[in-house]
Amino acid sequence: MSDGLVVASSRLSFAETLERLCAALERNGVEIFARIDHAANAATAGLGLRPTTVLVFGAAKAGTPLMAARQTLGLDLPLRALVFEDAEGETRVAYNDPAWIVSRQGLDAAAFPSVAGMAKLLAAVTAEAAGAPAGG
């Protein structure tokens, strides 16, 4: 994962995956700041796009210490997750690994405990949204 991109396959439909991701984030106390429906935006321009939605979310307690150390992290925070339907009709969830984001900005992820927490949360809510079997 040298490019920092994490992509997970979902066993569920696009709509169910997206709704489960929203619910999992909110249940974990993470605020959803924006929901960007790229397919709907494309349609308003007369263009077609498979279902593609970005969620923008975060928590000030986790992100603020990072931005205080390197304000350019404001380009990468709050976090985002992309739920999309690929060309084969499979639903996927993608996000940038928080440790990669911080490293890209020239900081040591190990120096910020919130980074590991962000990564753990993203993995957990993605697995839940994707309908992963319990414990795996």
Say which CATH number the domain at 43 has: 3.30.310.70
Contact 94, 1 (CB under 8 A): no
Is 12 within the bounds of a domain? yes
Q: What is the pLDDT of residue 135?
A: 56
Give the count of domains, the chain: 1
Is 134 within the bounds of a domain? no
**Rounded to 5 degrees, what are φ and ψ at 44?**
-65, -20
- The yes-or-no verdict on residue 30 having pLDDT over 50 is yes
Q: What is the pLDDT of residue 117?
A: 95
Q: What is the pLDDT of residue 134?
A: 61
Tens digit of each residue's pLDDT (9 = 90 or more) over 64-88 = 999 999 999 999 999 999 999 999 9
